[in-house]
Structure formats: C-alpha cells, structure tokens
Chains A and B, each alone.
Chain A
Amino acid sequence: QSVLTQPPSASGTPGQRVIISCSGSSSNIGSNPVNWYQQLPGTAPRLLIYTNNQRPSGVPDRFSGSKSGTSASLAISGLQSEDETDYYCAAWDGSLSGVVFGGGTTLTVL
C-alpha cells in the first residue's frame, strides 16, 4: 500500500491528452513539492517533472505537472506511442521524514 495513490492504469489514443492523478495528504503533497518520473521497461526511471510543474531540459513540453491541495497531476498532451510506459509521483512526507512514492501508473496508448 503506497502512501501516495495513483490509478494503476490509464489509457488514451494517439494525439489525445491524458491526465494521471496522484493523491496524498497534508504531510506530503499538501506541504511539499511533487516530482514525477517516467520509467521505460527495463530501464531506470528518469525525472520528468520536478517541483510540481518544472520540466528538466530535454523533456518535451507535451508533459506538464500541476498541484492543488493534497493532489497532483501529470498531463501528457499529443499522446505518442513512445509514451506507453510507467509513471510515478513522489514527495517528501514530513510526518514520516522520508520520500514517499505513488504505486505507479501504467499508461497504454491504444
């Protein structure tokens, strides 16, 4: 059972916009920034979004992040087949004094 809650799966068709949610509490998302990671099969995760809505260099602007209260979202617009993979959210939890992850969302491009 992960501290942050993500839907286990999401799907969309090419060109569509998909949103992946990440729900937490006041001790994590509610009071700390959220990061998002993308993990292609058999590879290490890579940072996709940091501090709620910032993109590292090299990440396409099709990817965007937002946060409101104790929830965060990752939006992927102009969906492409290469986006079909796993996504994780993470945040510092002040009560646990540690980083907590969501369980991950597997995105399928139909």
Chain B
Amino acid sequence: QVQLQESGPGLVKPLETLSLTCTVSGDSISSHYWSWIRQPAGKGLEWIGRMYSSGGTNYNPSLKSRVSMSLDTSKNQFSLKLTSVTAADTAVYFCTKGAGDLWGQGTLVTVSS
C-alpha cells in the first residue's frame, strides 16, 4: 500500500524559507512524478509544482522565482523549498503522486513572527 507523509516545521517566520519533505512508502520515488499542492484555510487548491524522477521540474509561474524541489532517492523522499514566505503562504501543503493519484494527509504551515 502506497503512502505519502509530509513533514516539516509548522511555523515559519516571514521572509524565511519554508522546507517540507514528503516520505513515500510502498513505491519507488524513482518511478512516476511527484507534486506539491497547497490549500489556504477555507479556500481552493493551488498547484505548486512537480518533479520527475529524471530531475525535471515544472513550477507554478506565480511561485517560480521562490520554489525549488528535489528528490532523495536514497531516502525515497522528495522535498519542497519556498523562499521569502509571507502570510499569504500560510496553507495546508499536500504532496501527491503524479497529478494527484494519491495524496499525503497534508501539513499545515503557518507563516507568522
């Protein structure tokens, strides 16, 4: 059974870097592609970007200057970094397999001093 689990700080200060990791179990991260999606409280879903096992990436144009993603095949994990965060980046962050075939439970990240 494939499972995804997000982890990382739940509180990030403004202008600092948000860093999250998604640990995949039951499947190899070297297969498929993997995505990050976020959802502010009470609002809709926003695609952040995706990373292929080859290392190729696609990012949301509105976030592209601040986003980076990476894979760690030795740990079967993939990661998200979002720099210079503001309160507008406060949201539940989900990692997904593919375009959303399977989702992690999500992790709330609050940006506040």
Binding site for A on B (CB under 8 A): 35, 44-47, 49-50, 58-61, 94, 99-106
Assess whether A60 is interfacial by the CB under 8 Å rule: no
Which residue on A lies nearest to B35, using beta carbons?
A99
Binding site for B on A (CB under 8 A): 2, 35, 37, 43-47, 50, 56, 88, 90, 92, 96-104
The reply to whether B99 and A101 form a contact with Cβ atoms under 8 Å apart is no
The reply to whether A2 and B101 form a contact with Cβ atoms under 8 Å apart is no
The reply to whether A97 and B101 form a contact with Cβ atoms under 8 Å apart is no
Which residue on B lies nearest to A36, using beta carbons?
B100
- Compute how far the CA of A50 lies from the CA of B99 in the bound complex, rounded to whole angstroms: 9
The reply to whether A98 and B100 form a contact with Cβ atoms under 8 Å apart is no
The reply to whether B61 and A90 form a contact with Cβ atoms under 8 Å apart is no
- Compute how far the CA of A92 lies from the CA of B49 in the bound complex, rounded to whole angstroms: 11
User: Which residues of B are found within 8 Å of A37, using beta-carbon distances?
Assistant: 45, 100
The reply to whether B46 and A101 form a contact with Cβ atoms under 8 Å apart is yes
The reply to whether A103 and B44 form a contact with Cβ atoms under 8 Å apart is yes
The reply to whether A100 and B47 form a contact with Cβ atoms under 8 Å apart is yes
The reply to whether A90 and B45 form a contact with Cβ atoms under 8 Å apart is yes
Among A45, A98, A101, A102, which residue has its beta carbon within 8 angstroms of that of B61?
A: A98
Which residue on A lies nearest to B4, using beta carbons?
A44
The reply to whether B103 and A98 form a contact with Cβ atoms under 8 Å apart is no
Smallest CB separation, A28 vs chain B (Å):
12
Which residue on B lies nearest to A101, using beta carbons?
B45
Known: A44-B105, A97-B58. A104 touches B100 (CB 8 A): no
The reply to whether A35 and B60 form a contact with Cβ atoms under 8 Å apart is no
Which residue on B lies nearest to A51, using beta carbons?
B99
User: Which residues of A are found within 8 Å of B100, using beta-carbon distances?
Assistant: 35, 37, 45, 47, 90
